[in-house]
Chain A
Amino acid sequence: MLAITRPPGPRQNDLLASLSAADYNRLADALEPVPMRLGARLYEPGSQLCHAYFPGTAVVALHYVTESGASAQTTGVGCEGVVGIPLFMGGGTTSSSAVVHTAGNGWRVERHRLLQEFDRGDTLQSVLLRYTQALMTQIIQTAACYRHHSVEQQVSSWLMATLDRLREGELAMTQELLGSLLGVRRESLTQAAFRLQEQGYIRYRRGHISVTNADGLRACACECYGVVKTELQRLARGDHSA
């Protein structure tokens, strides 16, 4: 499972938890705890990134807004990942923004410190690159999913992926926020939410969505949920067998 309960601290984040003791200890004093509030924007399109964020209990959407104002999430990032990959990949800015959609905690590292450790080529480098590879899988899957799958499947996959990232508490999401993250019209989302509620998988009241039957919801999700999860787990293990 993605969500392994860990004692509070930076090692709630899977990437930080998978560093060797020596690499973690070198980075530890540079890890600054940050509250990640609902709706907070960790970075804006085109702006220079100053920190990499390692979510603990928070969940962040990498989100793109088109010229016409329509938007869509390309991937989510929670305790399994890091926000700010252009810092070590190169470029230092992105064309998307990063928005907290589930409030919680996290840790951040200033860019120079991160790069200093990354360039040593130790476990931090391989952990971050493998995570970036997993992130690419997610983006690829999102692109294919937006093309081919129904809104109901997409909502189910999104809720399941977000549930996996939660270590405590319940998933609570407004219809408005979910619509903007998935980039679907209100009517389509309402219809999909009603159908999932009729089957008893979610509770949907006054625009608020919560999950009541994760097994049922999983059966409604498209293959994308499983593909991304399997790949994330494979890469997190450092296992190279396909």
Chain B
Amino acid sequence: MHTLTSAPTPPRIVAQPAQPGVPLSDHSDAKANQLLAALPPAEWLRWVPQLEAVELPLGRVLHESGVAMTHVYFPTTAIVSLLYVMEDGASAEIAVVGREGLVGVSLFMGGESTPSRAVVQSAGQGVRLRAAALKQEFNNSSPVLHLLLRYTQALITQMAQTAVCNRHHTLDQQLCRWLLLSLDRLQGHELVMTQELIANMLGVRREGVTEAALKLQKAGLIRYARGHITALDRPGLEARSCECYAVVKKEYARLLPRRLAV
């Protein structure tokens, strides 16, 4: 219920400006993004020459609240948080996007910008496409339109579930949900993440995250050392998480092509 108090401090993620992308050196890297991997062959051939590889370091802002986006981003190994930042600087994560998805749905949904911010929460690589090229593909290719809309519907489910979760679930449960959603988007069982950043993402006080992480560590579910979180017992984390993790995972599996589901 209302045991979680808001973080009174401004966000501590230092925004890094976007950097130019470079032409793809290896096309198979781009297919690590599962939306790109699901493109029909004709679409894939049209897209490849237009895709650019981008490095996505921790803290890089891919789009700012209310600013028109220039590119849509397809993470391959990075994870991006969609955050809402309040007038007083307090923030709350609304959804995470990794290799199953894309950042920039408002480009094809309409509106070009959104009142939320997208920031890299786990460093890695991605691929990007210019806004105009994406819009053209969306408007002219029915498979692209349907693929992107299904992904957006899955994203909406995640956002709605976050709203409900923020209302009703304990910080312990939320931390488990957050760890599981992030781990699903990484290869391996380890996240590089400070407690401060997690607190910032979840929109809670750091002390609350420290306490919750300690409990999970004592229960033998995670190991937390010097900013590295290792999942030791996934089934245990799933059992501790609220239902929100399973609801979101199931909806992604249902809406996205089988090999797309994370």
Interface of A toward B, CB cutoff 8 Å: 62, 64, 66-68, 70, 72, 74-75, 85-86, 88-91, 94-96, 119, 121, 126, 129-130, 132-137, 139-144, 146-148, 151, 183-185, 188, 223, 227, 231, 234-235, 238, 240, 242
Contact = CB atoms under 8 A, between A and B. Distances in A.
Interface of A, secondary structure class, is helix
A136 to B, nearest CB: 6
B65 to A, nearest CB: 9
A129 B159 contact: no
Given A64-B160, A139-B159, A143-B159, A148 B92 contact: yes
B171 to A, nearest CB: 11
B160 A148 contact: no
Interface residues of B, number: 55
A91 B168 contact: no
Contacts of B113: 242
B200 interface: no
A10 B109 CA distance: 24
Contact of A132 (B109, B112, B162, B169): B109
A223 B167 CA distance: 18
A218 to B, nearest CB: 16
Contacts of A238: 110
Interface in B218-258: 242-243, 247, 251, 254-255
B160 A96 contact: yes
A242 B168 contact: no
Nearest to A240: B112
B164 interface: yes
B109 A72 contact: no
A10 to B, nearest CB: 22
Given A74-B163, A139-B156, A143-B162, A89 B111 contact: no
B115 A90 contact: no
Nearest to A66: B168
Contacts of A147: 4, 6, 92, 166, 203-204
Contact of B163 (A67, A121, A139): A139
A147 B247 CA distance: 20
